Chains A and B, each alone.
Chain A
Amino acid sequence: NAGVTQTPKFQVLKTGQSMTLQCAQDMNHEYMSWYRQDPGMGLRLIHYSVGAGITDQGEVPNGYNVSRSTTEDFPLRLLSAAPSQTSVYFCASSYSRGAIYNEQFFGPGTRLTVL
C-alpha cells in the first residue's frame, strides 16, 4: 500500500493564483481531512469528508474548497491564493469518523509559499 500520497511536495504561487493540492489514499478509508500546519499553532483542520460526495468545513475553511468524488481522492483547491495561506498542508485519512477505534494516517505534506 502506498498509504496517503500528496502532490506536489513544494509549490510557490503568486497572490491571486489558484491551484489544487492533490491527495489520494489506497486504504479504502471513509474519512479524509486536510490540515494546515503553522509554527506554534499545531494542525488546524481545513475541510474534511466522511465519504464520497460528503464534505464539511473544519476550523479554518475560508479560501479553500474541496470535493470528494471518489473514496480515494480528496483534492484541496485554493481559489485565490493569499500570503496568509503560506503553510505546510497535510492530508490525512482514517477508517471512519464515527469509529471509536481509529487513527489517522498522514501524507508527506505540501509546502506552499504564496508571494
Chain B
Amino acid sequence: AQSVSQHNHHVILSEAASLELGCNYSYGGTVNLFWYVQYPGQHLQLLLKYFSGDPLVKGIKGFEAEFIKSKFSFNLRKPSVQWSDTAEYFCAVKDYGQNFVFGPGTRLSVLP
C-alpha cells in the first residue's frame, strides 16, 4: 500500500528564512500529489497540487513544490516565511482509483 513520509516533525524558523519541507511517497505510477495546510484551530486547506505537466508547481501564498519522479519526492518550498505561515503542513498522495494517503504532518513555527 502507498505510504507517505515527511522528513521533519517540527520546524522552527525566523521570519524571512527560507523553508523546505520534505515529502516522499513509497511507490510510483500515475499519482496526484498535494500539500495541505492546517492553520491553528482550522480545517485543512489545499495549498497546491500536482496532476501532470510542469513538475514545479506554484500554489497560494508564495508556496511552490517540485515533483521529482525518480526520487518519489514532492518537497514544499517558500523563499521567505512569515509569522502567518505558522501551521501544520500535510503532504498527500493519491493513486488512480485509490484513496488519498496523508503523511504524518510537519508543524512549522515561525518566530517573529
Contacts and interface: CB of A to CB of B under 8 A. Distances in A.
Q: Do A and B bind each other?
A: yes
Tell me the interface secondary structure of chain B in the complex: loop
Interface magnitude class on chain A: 20 to 34
- Please classify how large the interface on chain B is, using the bins under 10, 10 to 19, 20 to 34, 35 or more: 20 to 34
B51 interface: yes
A1 to B, nearest CB: 15
11 contacts: A33-B100, A42-B104, A44-B102, A92-B100, A98-B96, A100-B96, A102-B94, A103-B32, A104-B100, A108-B42, A109-B43
5 tightest CB-CB pairs across the interface, nearest first?
A42-B104, A43-B102, A106-B44, A42-B102, A106-B43
Given A40-B104, A105-B46, A106-B45, 9 more contacts: A43-B44, A45-B100, A97-B97, A98-B96, A98-B97, A100-B51, A101-B51, A103-B32, A103-B46
